[in-house]
A and B are shown apart, each in its own frame.
Chain A
Amino acid sequence: MYEDTSLTGRRLRLRILRHNPQDPGSSPRFETFELDETDGMTLFIALNEVRATLDASLQFDFVCRAGICGSCGMLIDGRPGLACRTLTRDIGPEITLAPLPVFELIGDLSVDTGKWMRAMAERLETWVHAAGEPALDRLEARMDPDLAEQIYELDRCIECGCCVAGCGTARMRPDFVGAVGVNKLARFRLDPRDTRDDAAYYDLVGTEEGVFGCMTLLGCEDVCPKGLSLAAQLAFVRRRMALQGLRGGSR
């Protein structure tokens, strides 16, 4: 990053919910850090500056810092979002930051989305269940170009956890698969390479922890940083699963 030190003249106040579970002496509390806003400042820049100049112990997660990897989900003024691509000029001057709820807290703004997502992937088996091993030397199986684009549309989820943090059900039922999980199932159901049928999916999500727990509050779609059509996927999968339920549910 090129240094861009021109000041906007605003003084930012970052109120950060802090807690280090590894430290027996720590308890959750808000701490406020003040810094000068620079032009084009993002929360990525601001938080790194706080750590470099004000408090070296502050914990947060950034990886790509380009809105691609989904590491930096947090509550920004109460709303789940990606910190790296949030420009401070769009918010503030007082900005409240807190870790995403539902996920296990690692420290301060850092939460364990990885563990949650792995458990979800294992439970829903979020991979193509193919009929056999591919013949690598042969022409690949054909796919309709539009279908490939539709699958990618659902494949764009970055597992940032914002939808889970924005979900009323997930806050009450820790084992709810969330919009992220339902979207994955919709993705694999659309994919002709996956041999699972509705009965197989019903085994996975035909429960209250699965699609039937969703209260259709649709907090998820509002906060999805990739703009995925989560409401439509939820409705679709629920309809399929309800039909499957009528047909006798699981196999």
Chain B
Amino acid sequence: MKVVWTDVLVIGGGLAGLRTAVGAARHGLEVVVLSLVPAKRSHSAAAMGGMQASLANAVKGEGDNEDAHFEDTVRGSDWGADQRVVRMFVHTAPKAVRELAAWGVPWNRVRSGARDAVINGEHVTLTERAEAHGLITARDFGGTKKWRTAFVSDGTGHSMLYTVGDRAIAEGVAVHERTEALALVHDGRRCYGAIVRDLRSGELVAYVATATCIATGGYGRLYQVTTNAVINQGIGAAIALETGVVGLGNMEAVQFHPTCIVPAGILVTEGCRGDGGLLRDAAGHRFMPDYEPEKKELASRDVVSRRMEEHIRNGKAVQARHGAHLWLDITLLGPDHIHRRLREVYEICRYFLGIDPTKDWIPVRPAQHYSMGGIRTDLHGHSPHLRGLFACGEAACWDLHGFNRLGGNSVAETVVAGMIVGEAIADWCASAAADATVPVGLVREHHDRVRGELDALQGAAGGENPTALMAQMQRLMTDQVCVFRTGPTLQMAVEELTELLRRSRRLRVPRLPGANPALADAYRVQKMLRLALCVTVGALARTESRGAHFREDHPRRNDRDWLKRTLAFWPRPDGDEPALSYETLDVMAMELPPGWRGYGARDHIDHPDTESRRAQVDALRAQLAGADRHAIQSELMPFLEELPPALRGRNERLAEPIA
């Protein structure tokens, strides 16, 4: 058995994993990052539109601050988020953008003076302030009250990932590329590392670590139609689930992005609409104002996606050979803007659709995009179920996004979480609790078990075929566990997935030296089916509609019965279904008590505590009227002590100078 020893094992080399690794390495810890692919090819590179942080430099961002970002995020989440996490996040996001700026991200900057912009379909002139010239600018995104999304043309994720990736190289972080974690080493209470497959040689290696952090991104490939990279299969979340003791939070909360090109399913950024692009139907009619008079194209993603699907059902779509679609029109932005700020969009349209978006409308339809759910952690990314196990980024659920994530909040989350969780890992490694002699027998036991599982998948022909099972699962998820959900279809989906899971136990692939891609498909589909069941069983149980989870048979948000977070466990390795339990969200501790989001449906069922908490909050605000906004905030819901000391300072803005 080959063993690699390290202080910290970070599974995942995207933005979240790399930033965490840098943080831990700066404490002198030895850090090894694992990645399926070269780190810079992680899916973070595909993020286009931008990163939210309340810098308030652009004129349309004037007056922005943490409070506004907080409210937008909580409303966006449909009150599913942990509000303390939201506070920690909005407070740290400006620091994260500024750190990235210092490390080299070429953020687009404010240019003082008049400029042309498109707002609500009209050309307008915006005049940027002279004192803001050269500071980081922002564009508009959905579900936000201010223009808050910092960006680098539409290659934001690329520039961020390259900068953080190169920073990690500068700090001497080792990245073991083309490796795949297949199981966690643990004893039910404590995590000791992972069993890892070398994807070049096929060899199994045990990585033993004091702290293990999963940052493996989302699980979009459970779906047939998704914007996600082909490597976004959720294996990291699955290996946590397979410990039997780690819970996954809110797996039914899956985001569908409004504008994905048909048929390839490739994303074109929300920045298209943020910068003034419009949605049109087969007749060329701009339909979003009919449904959402206030936010129109820029309501939150769950709302826009639902309205688009509703419009398609109403027979207003273009009927193309590969199905129905609507149009995204960015022609009104003009070639100059598109060639400077929407370059990837231009390239994607050119290469994959053969059209010119400066002249032609783009065929779009909602597709799976983001996984709000993931490995449940505390405020510092530590698993409450398995000590020594951390998680961050899209793979985790510390619960920043609740049931719907705002555009631009995810890449921001990855870096912010890295800044916080990297410190938490260093604290853990320094603590007495982390001291333990590693039970080598336990490591061998896990290694041999995985070896046995892989052996059992290879050999005589005649079993099930992994690509066929994968395709069936993906089709089923896209057809039955999508934007609109109902009890009977979800029930059917659970039954069919269970059957697929049983069949996946009879998978057989040829035994080949090296990477053996068919073997990889086989063990992955087994894991993915477990995740698909967590999503679907969770969606079936949740008899309400919240954020991206919409039940046609239970169309109202029901705070009375469902203001809680789903936890999915997989108690028995040979079991066919997850076991669900719930964590209640405490209304009486909320800074922003539940209410209407400002867009979408208005008819939710209140929680019995909402009224009294709102009265408390109002009374406190009245009593503290005129006080500093930070003082009011800390009375309502203190959070600063949860942050590492270096991240507690106030953020400077033009309107809020620091002496």
Contacts and interface: CB of A to CB of B under 8 A. Distances in A.
B41 A71 contact: yes
A145 B159 CA distance: 16
A106 interface: yes
Nearest to B353: A40
Interface in B576-603: none
A20 B515 CA distance: 9
Given A85-B352, A143-B109, A143-B134, A40 B263 contact: yes
B304 interface: no
A137 B37 contact: no
B230 A114 contact: no
Interface in B86-104: 95, 97-99, 101-104
Given A6-B321, A137-B649, A63 B43 contact: yes
A4 B649 CA distance: 54
Interface string B517-549: 110010000000000000000000000000000
B512 interface: yes
A189 B347 CA distance: 28
B230 A56 contact: no
Interface string B263-293: 1111100000000000000000000000000
A59 B467 CA distance: 15
Of residues B40, B46, B110, which shows the largest number of chain A Cβ atoms within 10 Å of its Cβ?
B40
Given A4-B322, A121-B166, 17 more contacts: A22-B202, A23-B512, A42-B352, A63-B229, A64-B41, A114-B37, A118-B38, A118-B177, A130-B102, A134-B99, A134-B103, A140-B101, A140-B135, A142-B133, A145-B110, A152-B155, A158-B45
A178 interface: no
B123 interface: no
Given A69-B41, A145-B109, A145-B111, A63 B231 contact: yes
B108 interface: yes
B397 to A, nearest CB: 24
Interface string A198-238: 00000000000000000000000000000000000000000
A64 B42 CA distance: 8
Contacts of B111: 145
A114 B166 contact: no
B439 interface: no
A141 B39 CA distance: 28
A69 B167 CA distance: 19
Nearest to A227: B347
Contact of A142 (B55, B135, B225): B135
13 contacts: A57-B510, A64-B41, A68-B46, A107-B514, A118-B177, A126-B166, A127-B104, A133-B102, A136-B646, A140-B55, A144-B109, A152-B155, A193-B102
Interface size class of A (residues with CB under 8 A): 35 or more
B207 interface: no
A140 B102 contact: yes
A28 to B, nearest CB: 15
Contact of A23 (B97, B348, B514, B651): B514
B262 A134 contact: no
B237 interface: no
A2 B158 CA distance: 26
B37 A115 contact: no
Interface residues of B, number: 87
A204 B600 CA distance: 57
B350 to A, nearest CB: 9
Contacts of B573: none
B455 interface: no
Nearest to A106: B200
B159 A152 contact: yes
Interface string B337-364: 0001000100110011010000000000
Contact of B510 (A56, A58, A140): A56
Interface of B: 37-43, 45-46, 55, 95, 97-99, 101-104, 106-111, 133-137, 152-153, 155, 158-159, 162-163, 166-167, 169-170, 175, 177-178, 200-202, 224-225, 229-231, 262-267, 321-323, 340, 344, 347-348, 351-352, 354, 467, 509-510, 512-518, 521, 646-647, 649-654, 658
B45 A69 contact: yes
B655 to A, nearest CB: 11
The 5 closest A-B pairs by CB, nearest first: A114-B38, A142-B134, A22-B514, A134-B102, A56-B518
Contact of B106 (A65, A133, A151, A158): A151
B170 A22 contact: no
Contacts of B45: 64, 68-69, 158
A143 B517 CA distance: 47
A197 interface: no
B41 A152 contact: no
A44 to B, nearest CB: 9
A142 B132 CA distance: 9
A87 B264 CA distance: 12
Contact of B266 (A65, A121, A125): A65
Interface string A92-118: 000000000000001100101111011
A51 interface: yes
Contact of A193 (B98, B104, B134, B202): B104
Interface in A175-190: 188
Contacts of A56: 467, 509-510, 517-518, 521
A193 B166 CA distance: 15
A142 B109 contact: yes
B159 A52 contact: no
A113 B518 contact: no
A63 B230 contact: yes
A138 B46 contact: no
Most chain A beta-carbon neighbours within 10 Å: one of B42, B135, B340, B653: B135
